[in-house]
Amino acid sequence: MIRIISALLLTLSTACALAQQAKSIELADNAPDRHIVVPGDTLWAISAQFLKEPYRWPEIWRMNKDQIKNPHWIYPGQVVILDRSGTQPQLRLGQTNKLEPKIYSEDESLAIPSIPQQVIEPFLSRPLVVDEDGLRNAPKIVALEEDRVYLGPGGRGYVSGMKEDSKIWQIYRKAKPVLDPETQEVLGYEAVYVGTAKQLAKGEPATIEIISAKEEIGLTDRLAPAGRPEIVSYVPHAPSKAINGQVAAIYGGVNQAGRNSIVTLNRGTRDGLEVGHVLALYRNGGNVTYREDDRKTEYKLPAERYGLLFVFRTFDRISYGLVMNVTRPVVVSDFVRTP
């Protein structure tokens, strides 16, 4: 069983210390007075209704021991209230007449997650950055049912080398190099997740059935035992040092990324990045030529900030970020910086 990477969980005291060093909190335009939590909400999305910088929600929770002790344990039916009475805005919990928040106090599985858990779940249970031959010896698909070219959900395939005892398997495409946009240096090799399968029968080859597919699944795709999914609580926070990096790749090989897409960054733990860090996205303004009369002047336009991303997994030289709030598509070579 592959061990699921554990999240970096900060204490409230750490969050408060970061808050003291940060700039003043600004409310979102037309911030509501309250929000009733519904299934499918995330802490980030709720906070975006109240704050211009939604990742700063841990700084403004007004805790009440009679209501809730853990800022992550918020449930459908509860009411998040914006308190403007003090020198700094605060968020606190109220309750509706339909649901009693205390009944959830010990059931974390029902709690609203910090960020969309289902989007990043496949990226938590298996290392995606490997060396060049990292998946060479992994079980591989050697045949497809009825001479199909590709498999989708419900399709059957035959796998050689499936020796580990696991009912559920994740499927990966052959690892591709990730290049640094700055230097063109190979930062690592990324194994692309393409789907999930269950083992129907042991043997050589073994028989699998595809459960889900992000892309078409075919011959030579590799398999790895799936770890057990778990709810992970993250406390978002800005890095304590200046981070300057770039988007090295967009997961899935597309040209642009939007909200809830996953991007690869050319910075990792050796650069000071850690799980939970929030980075601002910038687009280079480029160069323009201004002509007047017979003269022309060259100007370099400033980089423009257009969104935020959330770092949820880190390696030595590479990190994965979830695109959160953006006003334009993310493209390779866009900059990431400490907000």
- Has residue 64 been placed in a domain? yes
Residue in this structure with the two tokens 């029968």, named with its chain if needed: 201
Per-residue confidence (pLDDT) for residue 244, from 0 to 100: 94
| Contact predicate 282/337, CB 8 Å | yes
Model confidence pLDDT, tens digit, residues 191-243 = 888 899 999 999 999 999 999 998 899 998 999 888 665 555 677 889 999 99
Tell whether 252 and 303 lie within a shared domain. Answer: yes
The domain of 132 spans 127-225
Give me 2's structure tokens.
Answer: 């592959």
- Has residue 144 been placed in a domain? yes
Per-residue confidence (pLDDT) for residue 127, from 0 to 100: 60
Tell whether 301 and 272 lie within a shared domain. Answer: yes
Whether pTM > 0.75 for this model: the answer is: no
- Has residue 18 been placed in a domain? yes
- Has residue 6 been placed in a domain? no
Tell whether 133 and 78 lie within a shared domain. Answer: no
Provide the percentage of residues in the chain whose pLDDT is more than 90: 32
Model confidence pLDDT, tens digit, residues 158-199 = 999 998 888 899 999 877 888 899 899 998 888 888 899 999
Tell whether 17 and 37 lie within a shared domain. Answer: yes
Residue in this structure with the two tokens 């201004």, named with its chain if needed: 290
- Has residue 233 been placed in a domain? no
Last-in-domain residue among 225, 260, 275: 225
Nearest to 261 by CA among 275, 249, 248, 251: 251
Tell whether 135 and 200 lie within a shared domain. Answer: yes
Tell whether 62 and 140 lie within a shared domain. Answer: no
Q: Which residues contact 316 (CB under 8 A, 6 or more apart)?
A: 268, 269, 270
In the predicted structure, residue 12 carries a pLDDT above the cut 80 = no
CATH at residue 318:
2.40.10.410
> What is the rounded CA–CA span in Å between residue 129 and residue 315?
8
Number of independent structural domains in the chain = 3
Q: Average model confidence (pLDDT) for the chain?
A: 80
Last-in-domain residue among 119, 143, 168: 119
- Has residue 234 been placed in a domain? no
- Has residue 157 been placed in a domain? yes
- Has residue 327 been placed in a domain? yes
